[in-house]
Amino acid sequence: MKKQKITIGAILEIKIENNYYYAQILGKSACVFFDFFSDKQIKDFSILRDKPILFIIAVYNDIITNGHWLKVGNLEIREELKVLPMQFIQDTLKPDKYELYNPNNGEISPASKQECIGLECAAVWEAKHVEERILDFYAKRPNIWVEKMKVK
């Protein structure tokens, strides 16, 4: 595996089975994963500018620094991705207690369950779990990790 630095704007290539999936480093451990895959490596990353977003989550830095996902290019970050979306925190000891987490500045504030519906859980993801989530999305099946962390 190739050692790499975390570079904001870098495009990551994720090879799963016989397809290539793409993400972009946004900073603060966050990456955006695009609704796009190909059976061949792409070289023109501008195609990602208009692709829908699957999800934005934090991933462990070593996935990138150890070269598990290779940096293959760079692209200017889309305007709507320059501010990371809010996330939620649910107290495991008091499951009816919720908080909003702002990954841009680290602020945490009380929230209602209703305010948290549809948000990503504040978590850092392992590569294999992200890859499972991508495969599950395209197979149109629920992902165990998303379901465990979803506000119900």
Let me know the angle formed at the C-alpha of 10 by 69 and 46, rounded to the nearest 5 degrees.
Answer: 110
pLDDT tens-digit map of 64-113: 999 999 999 999 999 999 999 999 999 888 888 999 999 999 999 999 99
Q: What is the C-alpha separation between 48 and 34, in angstroms, rounded? A: 7
Let me know: does 4 contact 63? Beta carbons within 8 Å. no
Give the model's pLDDT for residue 11: 98
